[in-house]
């Protein structure tokens, strides 16, 4: 080789290596984030979703500017996300730089609740409680509609980004030719994978489909026609929940497996999943206690609470108190009589397919098929409304009524509390405006069954309700 050719070769290699370094820095460089407090970690800590399926933060910020007509309100709050002052992203949506800033999801998104004493009162955040306001499906549909719109172009998105934030010229080139087109493609793929959602009843606020998306996206199967819309469950007191059946039907009882599976199900990759971060959350929720009932409640030694406790111990504790014979186990659906769709959405074949997954650094062994719904411990039950696995009964007072007298429809997603009925306000102008209609006559939304306590006299029901506020 002549010296000249050798020099050109060296220059070429340097240019290629230089470009690769730039691409790595701007697209893939992973900057781990860390929160000192457990609460902040729970709300904003990454579990490794961003690298695999995070959304470019500045595109996320740009969408409401480019597509305001597709939003239910002026900003992302209108989907029911919980925002805290001083944070650009909602609780449960971590920011992490992987090349560029990306926004992900963590467990706190669905497992952090909120409550207000009145429409004017400040919102109190409740760690581990189900998020009753978040309408995730509506948010997904917003993203799908944006990506499907011909106005989702590099020019439009970059103009919106530039109105808020400066990108350097390398970022502009990469956004134009890589990041924006790839984001659009990824959202459209997700829309395609989840297209079946449109043929079945909506999730509505506080609910989602826990396993059907995973069957399509992880097991790579066609949608199987089932409906598994389910209410979010609480994450607290897990030390006391040792060996409980997990999820509505108890389809596994290994908390470790459900943690890993939830991480993957929410978009972490086999390699990007941050197991240390998940373990930190797991340890924290071991001893996390449910928030106490914040409204007036009779003193624990008052006659009414003592009477309520007696009824609870005689008629409910065997299935619902820690230490009860059946607490934490699946009770045959014939005995409970509640809506069967969620139970029937999960088969032995699904359990076997999850146990056979081999693309991870771990194997699942605990998935199984059960014949009913788990009788859960009722700690913090006051803030777990609406009730039953499908969230079909708005309040504890309604759950103690015979099914024919429970509301046939009501509004979910409003977080002002109704201390009289023990649940969230679910009717009236404010609930209609801020919530979404839930119709119990639709498939999967049935409010029948669970007749326990429905035959009690009015005074006994009152006493039982009063006692349950203290759980």
Give the binding site for ligand HEC (CB under 6 A).
47, 105-107, 109-111, 136, 208, 210, 230, 232-233, 235, 246-248, 255, 258-259, 262-263, 266, 315-316, 318-320, 326, 331, 336, 338, 342, 373, 375-376, 378, 381, 384, 387-389, 396, 399, 450, 452-453
Q: How far is the CB of 274 from ligand HEC (least distance, A)?
A: 10
Minimum CB distance to ligand HEC smaller for 181 or for 324: 324
Tokens 């409906």 — which residue?
Answer: 227
Q: How far apart are CA 13 and CA 16, in angstroms?
A: 5
- Shortest Cβ 282–ligand HEC spacing (Å): 7
Contact between residue 244 and residue 291 where contact means Cβ atoms under 8 Å apart? no
The reply to whether omega before 71 is within 30° of 0 (cis) is no
Q: Which is nearer to ligand HEC, 139 or 409 (CB)?
A: 139
Q: Which is nearer to ligand HEC, 200 or 232 (CB)?
A: 232
Question: Shortest approach of ligand HEC to residue 338 CB, angstroms?
Answer: 3
The SS3 assignment for 91 reads coil
Which region, left, alpha or beta, applies to residue 304 given φ > 0 means left and ψ of -120 to 50 means alpha? Answer: alpha
Q: Two tokens at 375?
A: 């009788």
Q: What is the nearest approach in angstroms of ligand HEC to the Cβ of residue 263?
A: 4
CB of 288 to ligand HEC, least distance (A): 12
Residue whose structure tokens are 């913090």: 380
CB of 115 to ligand HEC, least distance (A): 16
Looking at beta carbons only, is 26 or 373 nearer to ligand HEC?
Answer: 373
C-beta of 299: minimal distance to ligand HEC in Å? 21
Instruction: In angstroms, give the least distance from the CB of 96 to ligand HEC.
Output: 15
- Kindly state the tokens that stand for 14: 């340097």
Q: How far is the CB of 464 from ligand HEC (least distance, A)?
A: 6
- Name the phi and psi angles at 322, rounded to 5: -55, 135
Residue 393 is classified by DSSP as B
Beta-carbon count within 10 A of 199 CB: 9
- Nearest Cα to Cα of residue 312 among 421, 469, 130: 469
* DSSP label at residue 78: G
Quick one: 109 or 158, whose CB is closer to ligand HEC? Answer: 109
Q: Output 63 or 232, the one with its CB closest to ligand HEC.
A: 232
Of 167, 188, 171, the residue nearest 179 (C-alpha): 171
Measure the CA angle with vertex 414, ends 402 and 262; round to 5°: 90
Q: Which is nearer to ligand HEC, 384 or 436 (CB)?
A: 384
In whole angstroms, give the CA distance from residue 471 to residue 469. Answer: 6
- The span from the CA of 216 to the CA of 224, in Å, is 9
Name which of 40 and 155 has its Cβ closer to ligand HEC. Answer: 40
Handedness of CA 296, 298, 301, 307 (dihedral sign): negative
Q: Are 28 and 102 in contact (CB under 8 A)?
A: no
Q: Which residue has the tokens 């900057």?
A: 31
In this complex, which beta carbon is closest to ligand HEC, that of residue 378 or of residue 431? 378
* Structure token digits, residue 4: 């000249």
Indicate the length of the chain as a whole number: 471
Per-residue DSSP letter, 170: H
Greatest extent of the chain over all pairs of C-alpha atoms, in Å: 101
CB of 363 to ligand HEC, least distance (A): 18
The CB-of-229 to ligand HEC minimum distance in angstroms stands at: 8
DSSP state of 110: T
Residue 313 C-beta: closest distance to ligand HEC, Å: 10
Q: Is 55 helix (H, G, I), strand (E, B) or coil?
A: strand
Closest by alpha carbon to 61, among 208, 183, 195, 177?
183
Give the nearer residue to ligand HEC in terms of CB position, either 149 or 355.
Answer: 355
Q: Which is nearer to ligand HEC, 101 or 370 (CB)?
A: 370
Kindly tell me which of 61 and 320 has the beta carbon lying closer to ligand HEC: 320
Structure tokens that stand for 331 in this block: 């009770």
Query: Which residue from 219, 237, 250, 246 is spatially nearest to 321, judged by alpha carbons?
Result: 237
């Amino acid at each position: 080789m002549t010296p000249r050719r050798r020099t050109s070769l060296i220059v070429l290699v340097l240019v290629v290596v230089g470009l690769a370094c730039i691409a790595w820095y701007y697209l893939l460089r992973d900057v781990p984030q860390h929160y000192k407090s457990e609460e902040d970690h729970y709300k904003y800590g990454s579990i490794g979703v961003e690298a695999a399926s995070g959304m470019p933060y500045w595109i996320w910020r740009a969408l409401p500017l480019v597509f305001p007509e597709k939003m239910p309100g002026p900003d992302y709050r209108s989907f029911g996300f919980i925002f805290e002052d001083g944070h650009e992203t909602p609780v449960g949506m971590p920011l992490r730089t992987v090349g560029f800033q990306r926004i992900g999801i963590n467990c706190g998104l669905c497992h952090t609740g909120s409550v207000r004493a009145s429409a004017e009162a400040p919102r109190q955040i409740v760690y581990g409680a189900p998020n009753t306001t978040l309408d995730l499906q509506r948010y997904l549909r917003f993203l799908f509609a944006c990506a499907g719109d011909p106005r989702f172009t590099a020019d439009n998105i970059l103009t919106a980004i530039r109105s808020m934030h400066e990108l350097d010229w390398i970022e502009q080139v990469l956004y134009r030719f890589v990041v924006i087109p790839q984001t659009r493609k990824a959202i459209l793929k997700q829309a395609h994978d989840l297209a079946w959602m449109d043929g079945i009843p909506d999730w509505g606020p506080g609910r989602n489909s826990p396993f059907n998306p995973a069957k399509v996206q992880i097991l790579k199967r066609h949608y199987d026609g089932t409906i598994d819309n389910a209410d979010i469950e609480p994450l607290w007191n897990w030390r006391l929940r040792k060996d409980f059946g997990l999820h509505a039907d108890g389809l596994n009882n290994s908390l470790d497996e459900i943690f890993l599976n939830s991480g993957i199900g929410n978009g972490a990759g086999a390699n990007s999943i941050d197991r240390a971060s998940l373990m930190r959350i797991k340890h924290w929720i071991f001893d996390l206690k449910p928030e106490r009932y914040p409204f007036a409640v009779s003193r624990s030694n008052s006659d009414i609470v003592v009477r309520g406790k007696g009824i609870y111990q005689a008629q409910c504790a065997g299935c619902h108190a820690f230490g009860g014979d059946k607490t934490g186990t699946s009770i045959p659906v014939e005995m409970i009589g509640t809506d069967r769709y969620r139970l029937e959405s999960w088969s032995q074949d699904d359990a076997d397919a999850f146990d056979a997954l081999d693309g991870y650094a771990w194997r699942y062994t605990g998935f199984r098929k059960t014949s009913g719904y788990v009788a859960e411990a009722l700690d913090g039950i006051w803030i777990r409304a609406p009730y039953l696995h499908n969230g079909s009964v708005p309040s504890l007072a309604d759950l103690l009524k015979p099914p024919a007298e429970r509301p046939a429809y009501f509004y979910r997603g409003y977080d002002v509390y109704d201390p009289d009925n023990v649940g969230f306000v679910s009717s009236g102008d404010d609930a209609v405006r801020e919530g979404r209609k839930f119709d119990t006559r639709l498939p999967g939304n049935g409010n029948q069954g669970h007749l326990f306590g429905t035959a009690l006299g009015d005074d006994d029901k009152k006493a039982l309700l009063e006692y349950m506020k203290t759980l």
